[in-house]
Structure 1
Amino acid sequence: MTARTTRTLAAAFSLTAALAISGCSASSEDAAKPSMKVSGAFMPQPVNDKMAGAFMVIENDSKTADRLTGVTSTLSDDLQIHETKDQKMQQVPSLDVPAHGELRLERGGSHVMFMGLKSTPEVGDKVTVELRFEKADPVKVELDVKERTYTAQAPASTAGSAH
């Protein structure tokens, strides 16, 4: 083998190794990207066209924590993420969705607020929203419009139950 052939093979090997390494890192980033699942999504029937709330459970089964950073809908141009602390509701820029955990958006706690509704949905209607996250892909969710007094029931836990 000549020196030139050896250099050409070494360069080809280096290029192949670099491509393989970069390919592996891209796929591991994709594998680490959180994937969100939503359950129990609903909106109590609004009293008027001024505001409405949305409630749901956002589940993150991945090993990467994420943040809910925004919500959009055709029902309103002004959707806000709110949290309730010390019995006071306040707008926040984002809410944490822990790795292998969930974010509960519920009455009396964190939730989504629609301000200035373009129409007033009735019980039985569906309202579509898109949840935006810092890392995960956006998720489209259909909110079932429920009676104003409706409250979602928490799933029964079997942990720690007596036999």
Structure 2
Amino acid sequence: MRRRKAVAGTLTLATGLALTACSSDGPPRLEVTGAFMPQPVSDMAAGFLLVRNSGGATDRLTSVTSSLSDHVSIHETRNQTMRMVTSFEVPANGELDLERGGNHIMFTDLKQRPKQGETVSVELHFEKADPIKVDIPVKETTYNPKKQ
């Protein structure tokens, strides 16, 4: 009788652990695509990209760094008003779209103005995932891939 209880307890524990393991699809798995920066016309610039998360856990973009500027921030745009935020959610099995007219990366006090055809290196920092380095191509000032 004691042996049956011990086996039943072990099976219950093993089943619980298996269900816990199956309830999550693992950590965030992030990929960046579609990055671009319109050629700046002043000492400010904006960057746009898509962060796709194919993992089962939500993550957050918490900051962006670049040698182009010591002042890089992330901005939310609502009702045509822009404001700095501390992070953006990258949903599990979803995406964060930083796009023209919407949320974006803002570079202020540029150390130099990059020209069309050049690239700007940035590093995206996340709450859970390791940083991702991205070379952002500089496009013409009016570039908008959604209108191509």
What TM-score range do you get, normalising by the shorter chain? Answer: 0.7 to 0.9
Aligned to 2:16: none
TM-score by length of 1: 0.73
Indicate yes or no: 2:72 matched with 1:79: yes
CA distance in 1: counterparts of 2:30 and 2:131, whole angstroms: 9
Paired residues, what number?
A: 126
Superposed CA deviations along residues 127-162 of structure 1, whole A, max 9, x for unmatched, are 0100000001100001000000000238xxxxxxxx
Superposed CA deviations along residues 100-147 of structure 1, whole A, max 9, x for unmatched, are 000000011100000100000000000010000000110000100000
* Runs of 4+ that moved beyond 6 A: none
Aligned to 1:56: 49
Within-5 A mapping of 1:72-151:
72-151=65-144
Aligned to 1:8: none
CA distance in 2: counterparts of 1:141 and 1:114, whole angstroms: 15
- Amino acid aligned to 1:88: T
**Structure whose alpha-carbon radius of gyration is higher:** 1
CA distance in 2: counterparts of 1:147 and 1:42, whole angstroms: 10
CA distance in 2: counterparts of 1:41 and 1:84, whole angstroms: 18
TM-score by length of 2: 0.81
CA distance in 1: counterparts of 2:88 and 2:117, whole angstroms: 29
Aligned to 1:161: none
Instruction: Give the counterpart of 1:45 among 39, 42, 49.
Output: 39
- State the identity as a percent: 54
Q: How well do the aligned residues superpose, as a CA RMSD in angstroms?
A: 1.9
Aligned to 2:12: none
CA distance in 1: counterparts of 2:120 and 2:96, whole angstroms: 20
- Contact 1:35 1:137 survives alignment (8 Å): no
Return the offset for 1:80.
Answer: 0.5
CA distance in 2: counterparts of 1:138 and 1:77, whole angstroms: 17
Aligned to 2:63: 70
Instruction: Give the counterpart of 1:34 among 13, 28, 34.
Output: 28
CA distance in 2: counterparts of 1:138 and 1:93, whole angstroms: 16
> Tell me, which stretches of 5 or more residues in structure 1 are unaligned?
1-30, 155-163
